Structure 1
């Protein structure tokens, strides 16, 4: 019984929110907001938001591809040193 009431409340709230959000797509306020958001600086701001994530992703992929040794494992340099017992 409680579950059905919760579902009904969630459905009612979602219908109410979507109708309020789509009430006025072409009014003067929405056109002004759309013009300010999608203005001439839109692409510059979009690039400034995306580039750090691309940089971090590329660096992570590079480090994953190189394959850093797990902790405790000797590095390649210490394994190949002359005079070091194997």
Structure 2
């Protein structure tokens, strides 16, 4: 399998970022950042971020399950019944 230069660059960049991110997990600055991110309002903010996606997903799943026809299409009843000619 042949790799391109872009794939090699992306791999190298991800390794450098991962190394820098895990450099000092217990320093004073990281403790302050962890305390501010995982503070008392963490769950409230997390719920406010996740609920809209869950709501839209639930509505989409419901509409898919109900099987509403796309706009401009004949209803499923019209497609199943043959037309009578006189």
Q: TM-score, normalised by structure 1?
A: 0.69
TM-fit CA distance, 1:11? 4.6
TM-fit CA distance, 1:36? 0.4
Determine the C-alpha separation between the residues in 2 that align with 1:44 and 1:31: 21
> 2:22 matched to which residue of 1?
22
CA RMSD of aligned residues (A): 2.8
Q: Write the deviation string for residues 26-66 of structure 1: whole angstroms up to 9, x where unpaired.
A: 00000000000000000000000000001000100111111
Consecutive unaligned residues of structure 1, counting only runs of 5 or more, are 80-84
Aligned residue pair count: 76
Determine the C-alpha separation between the residues in 2 that align with 1:64 and 1:17: 41
User: 1:33-52 counterparts in 2 under 5 A?
Assistant: 33-52=33-52
> 2:32 matched to which residue of 1?
32
> 2:74 matched to which residue of 1?
73
Q: Which has the larger radius of gyration?
A: 1
Shift in alpha-carbon separation, 1:3–1:48, aligned structure 2, 3 A: closer
Q: TM-score, normalised by structure 2?
A: 0.69
Consecutive unaligned residues of structure 2, counting only runs of 5 or more, are none
Which ranges of 4 or more aligned residues in structure 1 deviate by more than 3 Å? 9-15
